């Protein structure tokens, strides 16, 4: 079992920055594919970014490319999401997730086994 604890959300003005953290326990994240998803009110949970454990490959959703950066610190067993140039449309609950995901399926929620509890990000205009 792996437990994931998301943190770092908050209220920020448009153009601002936040850094989310996802601390894992129970298992080491080094060989796991770690991702961030988000869910806005009334919408489905959507893919944001993934960092593959074995290859180190990183992929972003088009909506966040160039503004968000996913990273991991295997020694701390923690994954991060640095969010810059935030927009009101980035407002959502952000979740980290862990899985062993084939390259074609990184956007699929059901391919991820473990989930954090979520952290709220609110961007005011």
Q: Tens of pLDDT along 60-80? A: 999 999 999 999 999 999 999
Structure tokens at 67: 């503004």
The 10s digit of each residue's pLDDT in 82-118 is: 999 999 999 999 999 999 998 889 999 999 999 999 9
Phi/psi for 90 (5° steps) reads: -85, -5
CB 94 within 8 A of CB 81: yes
The 10s digit of each residue's pLDDT in 10-29 is: 999 999 999 999 999 999 99
CB burial string 98-113: b at 16+ within 10 A, e below: bbebeeeebeebebbe
SS3 110: helix
Mean pLDDT of the chain: 96
The predicted pLDDT at position 104 comes to: 86
User: Rg of the Cα trace of the chain?
Assistant: 13
The 10s digit of each residue's pLDDT in 31-51 is: 999 999 999 999 999 999 999
Give the pairing type, strands 33-39 and 92-99.
antiparallel
In whole angstroms, give the CA distance from residue 91 to residue 105: 25
In this prediction, residue 8 has a pLDDT band, given cuts at 50, 70 and 90, of very high
């Amino acid at each position: 079992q792996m437990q994931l604890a998301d943190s770092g959300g908050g209220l920020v003005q448009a153009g601002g920055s936040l850094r989310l953290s996802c601390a894992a326990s129970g298992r080491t994240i080094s060989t796991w594919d770690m991702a961030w998803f988000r869910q806005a009110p009334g919408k489905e949970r959507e893919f944001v970014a993934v960092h593959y454990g074995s290859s180190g490959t990183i992929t972003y959703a088009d909506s966040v490319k160039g503004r968000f950066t996913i990273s991991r610190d295997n020694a701390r067993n923690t994954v991060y999401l640095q969010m810059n140039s935030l927009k009101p449309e980035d407002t959502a609950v952000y979740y980290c997730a862990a899985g062993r995901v084939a390259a074609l399926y990184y956007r699929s929620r059901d391919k991820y086994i473990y989930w954090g509890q979520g952290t709220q990000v609110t961007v005011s205009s």
